[in-house]
Chain A
Amino acid sequence: MKKVIVACGSGVATSQTVASKVAKLLKEKNVKAEVEAIDIKSLDRFIKTCDVYVALTNPQKDYGVPVVQGIPFLTGMGMEQELEKLINALK
Chain B
Amino acid sequence: MGGEKRILKYLMLKDSVQVTDLTLEFELEKSEVEDAIKKINSSFKKDVIFYQRDGVYMTENSKMLCYKTLLKGEKLFSHYEFRERYYLLIIVLAVENKYLSLLELADICLVSKNTILNDLKCMKRDISKKGIEIDYSRKHGYSIKGSEFTIRNILVSAVKNILHSQAGRILLEENSLIKESEIFRLRKRLERLETRIGFRLTDEQLDELPYIIQLVLRRAKKFNQSWSFKIEKYDIKNTIEFPEIQKMFWDFDYLSQSDLLYLSLQVLASNMVESALEITDGDQVAIAAEEFLQNIETNLVMKIHRRNELKEKILLHVRPAIYRNLLGFQINNPLTEEFLSQYQEIYEVVKKSVTPFQKITQKELSKEEIVYLSMIVLGLIYETEETEAIYKAVVLCQSGTSISKLLLVNLKSMFPEIYFIGAYSVRQFEQNNLDVDFIFTTVPVKHKTSTFIIPPILDKQDRLELKERVQCEMLGNNDKMVQSVMRAIKPYISEQHIETVYKKVGDLLSNPYTSSSNEDLNNEKKLFRFSIDNISIINEEISWEQLVDISMKPLLRRKSVTAAYIEETKKAFYANYDKMIIAQNVYLPHFSPENGVNRMDFQVLVFKNPTFTPNGEKVSIVVALAPSVTNEHVPTLIKLNNIFSDEKTLAQIINEKSIFVTENILNEKGAEQNCEL
Residues on A lying within 8 angstroms of B by beta carbon are 8-14, 16-17, 19-21, 23-24, 35-39, 56-57, 71, 74-77
Contacts and interface: CB of A to CB of B under 8 A. Distances in A.
A57 B576 contact: yes
Contact of A75 (B581, B631, B637, B675): B581
Interface of B: 308, 572, 576, 579-584, 588, 590-593, 625, 627, 631, 633-634, 637-638, 641, 645, 675-677
A57 B578 CA distance: 9
Contact of A16 (B576, B580, B637): B637
Across chains A and B, which 8 residue pairs bring their CB atoms closest together, nearest first?
A24-B675, A75-B584, A12-B627, A10-B592, A16-B634, A17-B637, A20-B677, A13-B590
B572 A14 contact: no
Contacts of B631: 12, 16
B566 to A, nearest CB: 14
Nearest to B589: A13
Given A12-B590, A17-B582, A74-B583, 5 more contacts: A12-B633, A14-B580, A57-B579, A75-B583, A76-B645
Nearest to B676: A20
Contact of B641 (A8, A9, A17, A35): A17
A12 B592 contact: yes
Given A13-B625, A57-B576, A74 B675 contact: no
Contact of B592 (A11, A14, A19, A20): A11
Contacts of B579: 8-9, 14, 56-57, 71
Contacts of B634: 13, 16-17, 20
B572 A9 contact: yes
Contacts of A57: 576, 579
A8 B637 CA distance: 15
A14 B633 CA distance: 11
Contacts of A16: 631, 634, 637, 677
Contacts of B588: 13-14
B308 A36 contact: yes
Nearest to B591: A10
A27 to B, nearest CB: 9
A6 to B, nearest CB: 10
Contacts of B676: 20, 23-24
Contacts of B592: 10-12, 39
A39 B592 CA distance: 9
Contacts of B645: 74-76
29 contacts: A9-B572, A9-B580, A9-B591, A10-B572, A10-B590, A10-B627, A11-B592, A12-B590, A12-B631, A12-B633, A13-B625, A14-B588, A16-B634, A16-B637, A17-B638, A17-B641, A20-B675, A21-B675, A23-B677, A24-B675, A24-B676, A36-B308, A39-B592, A56-B579, A57-B576, A74-B583, A75-B645, A76-B584, A76-B645
Contact of A20 (B590, B593, B638): B638
Nearest to A70: B579
A23 B580 CA distance: 20
Most B C-beta atoms less than 10 A away, residue of A16, A57, A74: A74
A23 B674 CA distance: 12
A58 B572 CA distance: 14
A33 to B, nearest CB: 12
Contacts of B581: 14, 71, 74-75
A31 to B, nearest CB: 15
Most B C-beta atoms less than 10 A away, residue of A9, A38, A57: A9
Nearest to B580: A14
A40 B588 CA distance: 17
Given A71-B581, A74-B641, A19 B590 contact: no
A52 B631 CA distance: 23
A19 B584 CA distance: 17
Given A20-B677, A21-B638, A75-B583, A13 B576 contact: no
B584 A14 contact: no
B568 to A, nearest CB: 9
A32 to B, nearest CB: 14
A77 B572 CA distance: 24
Contacts of A36: 308
Contacts of B590: 10, 12-13
A57 B634 CA distance: 19
Contacts of B591: 9-10
A9 B590 CA distance: 10
Most B C-beta atoms less than 10 A away, residue of A10, A39, A57: A10
A77 to B, nearest CB: 7
Contacts of A13: 582, 588, 590, 625, 627, 633-634, 637
Contacts of A75: 581, 583-584, 645
A39 B579 CA distance: 13
A57 B572 CA distance: 12
Contacts of B677: 16, 19-20, 23, 35, 37
Contacts of A9: 572, 576, 579-580, 591
